[in-house]
Structure 1
């Protein structure tokens, strides 16, 4: 069923369950003298309403026609509404493309959602695609700007599909960013399902509420029968944040800014409950009357107060009288009738003793807590390794939690220098005035602690001028902290793509950064023991120091491997736009996966463009790698290169680097060069650049002559002469993803 020209009808199946507790129902109150029923809907709470004067403004105005509620110009199917959470549960259509035996589109549906007053809940929803020959787009608006994200799902046969798994084999899923509005969905296919038509004739894409869709292999052939799936919208009042002078919150309520980045919401103050959007909707909770059994140790001593309650104790007793507090206990000093003077002495000494003892107990608890974390995080194992190997002395520092807390000024937000999928990075100042970067990760896998410690030991021994140095770690916190050398000049992404610097970066600087990055990866692959696969090479993980020397960073996704061995990943990790298509399809990780990602970085250095372009661009230009290879194949290389670097008399060098990038981007890993070969080629080009004459034509002749000599002595990866074999398959396996990386 096509979606174009069709409005989505929204039947309220029931805003609240009939058995909801009385307090919950009270929170859904409508405005007085306003109908709160329509069909199966028993409660339509203000700020919503169905008649003029019963809703806050047109954004919350609903219509009731034949038992169906509609909102605005677009009629939506709503299954639930929440005043407390500011959310609407709706039913959203599924995007699909179905094919015939010739690979032609037989039926399709590209649904859209346009509700400017609402945002798509990033905490409740996820973007998913289903199919064995599938890539899907979600185009929308994020923070007022155009936004695109993607999802890829492939498989060769139904036996490789695992029910309940959505990691890219038959099914993929992507988190929704906060603040996303108005979107459209598009499901696409690489090969028209011609090879898998018997068990998977269609490609699907949808936004669905988390936990509401559990993938199984049956969905590959029968998902078309499911027209809609649950989805959650966030709503708020207006577009401005809290403004005490004009917000609409009622009495005994307060306004707050929700996480969806738009508007504000209201909530009842502590001790009150009800509908905070009504002038008198928040009522004082009668704790003593309604809940006295669970409030005070002596129920009859519960005293109502405005917005609160208090408990008291009988004479000769002390305490707050609350069950969740100190309760009531006999005051032995009063009972004994000791003299006032003695009483003062006896009271003063115990109080001081108790305060001192309490301080000691808290300190001991803190020490024990840190010791427990230290053991859980593999601290004893790390100490054993360091004590057994004297050569490690000085390479791995075990920092204390107090030391790093002081260095980061108690993790001051003003010292944050980076945030990503793996955690937050703070700038820190050690006691010896050394400036460091402190990485505070989000989560830790307790089952992988031994592997984590081994990686810390090995990575801290890596000493290369183009690799960010790991100085040590702290294991006394719930999640381990990593301490790196501080690199001052930001990332290659900022340097290359910032409007004030990107267009001025010379070819000489770009070539040097490429050669330094390749040398670092070559070292990690060949010289480190065991070898290290970075697995997330991209410009934002290449830092620049004070002299703009490149340093490879962020080993959060790295893996250590044995020589001549690959690893099969249970979850594909990395950044869309830079992911090796072979790794994406097989989950088999090799050093050649880094080579592919480096090839994308080379293309960015050559073109000055981002790996994934805006969805406003023509579709063939959306993926930079596909567009670059297309221009190279059609002998239009200089149409895509950064304009100012082509005027530096270096056309031969640019062609050589472009061909090297092409080899790195080969679909099959075995057709790519090693990072050592790539580093050798780039360093050779730099030497030519340094020793060539000033005259541009002479320089080009010198470059060509040198490369002819280098070519005859090179390995099977002849980057100067190899044709663009495999380009079409590269198009078929293009990696699509969101514009904002990991």
Structure 2
């Protein structure tokens, strides 16, 4: 049945596509566009925001990135964003842009300001002199450049040779700007009144002197400064009087570029072609063009081709048929190398640039098109209707299969009240924009957590497992059942689950401020808000939640994976215990449960590890490690430390036994707490880390003691003699231990990753 439907659909689609090819405009024969090559292999492509195309190239050690030294560019990364500068010593200003024929550089400026009495405003009498020079074998000044003088008492002498003695030589040109009272200063005019412009006749070397007629004695009340600069004429528009008294005029002309014509060598095309070893235009579909400003040549792609004519593979064909702006065909466009041609559909003939329908065939074509179109449409509608019915039935069967596979029946058996919200897969797809990558909040070895927005505008976190097998079904249902039994402000609230997709999903309230692990270890020195008071508050909230799970829940719960990564923080940095995938329910008459050992390396209770007997004291041990992390800032396992110091629990207890407590505490904690408060907190940690579970406190006792520590009176360390002794002890060169403080908090250790679990959940 399925094969027959598939064959019918295939024949229909082939017939429709054939009719479309015959009767529709043809854009066939499209050649694949080759990627344009801008730089030589291994060379840097751009400097900051500026693309550096070959034959130019950024200077790199051991690489010839430019066609010659004159075209080498230095990329200065001391500036943000980086700027490109020519290596030519005559061209000292940065590059604006590089085109196929021109190079634009930041221009030089000459300026001088005077006060009302006549002397220079800075008290120094001097002429303003600017020199311009080029490597004549590769560059020439463009004819679009002009010398511009702006002022009311200024003139500039232009010399066509930089080496001339300006005290004895006559200038080749003079540009004068004055403001006579009988003449109006007009915008967009640079004819001598307030502004003057003259063309640059030199292609390689010239210099400028900026001088004044009467030292601004008659005009300084409205214009105190004169300016002279060379740049692209079209980039400057004189604004009249507003420019003459504008104190920011220098900044406004700063980016007016000077334009250089560049060419490969000081040769004509005919001269360059005689030496094929140095000739730059030897790639196919390129041609040589003589430079207009001076003796030299450049390469360009032939008509109908694009690319870099200086680099392999050279110029490639432009497919004009793929761009309606590049062809004039009204029906069928046919691409050929370097050009294209037009043709007409069946039933039409070409007349000039238009396709005209044959009158005898026009009606037949219309009938054929309409009949064929309706046939295709009817078949497609019928096939689609049948396809969607079958697909809907298949989806329903698949949803039922996944529901059973993911423990739906088991959930119904274990859930006493049966009030767990079950979401549909379609509802969660809409909430996460079909599980888009930008909705991911985090991910680990077992799954991904997405941010979702439900139909009632609630923002939630959706946990999606990466894979599922029979061994994980019980764990998943276990987490659902446990969280439905829990109602505590410091425990993440489960809103529901989804079982009808390939992998199961859990829907939680969104705890948006990350885990405690992020704030303690992934920020160098810890988050700024993470004071001793806040650490004790979070510890008290977390221990209170665990105490509730152990003794106040309807069925006692052992978390079995207490760690920083499973303590989340909301927008107000209130702690919430999460991740109950490894948790276990305990009957009221039970004190111990024998189970497969699970947990995270560094947090795992040694007694539980060796005996396999799980008790509430196992969570107390793990919480002791969490409290030690908060006090020391160290990670549970740090392989970069000495072997005896790698395990935080062992290191903490050993340090206390050696009376070195204040050497291992985080300096910020030492500064904020009192000695008595810190000693009590450390003693609580040592009791929690006792190897004998029976001698550890209960989680309720831990929570009460942390509440008492939060209420301890605080005194500044500076008022306590004991603090001064501790500080001097830390600075003593003979007993200082660098491994106690020089901890790299930004290291890549992933304590919360699933790779550190002793067994799969």
Given the two structures, how large is their TM-score scaled by the length of structure 2?
0.44
Given the two structures, how large is their TM-score scaled by the length of structure 1?
0.45
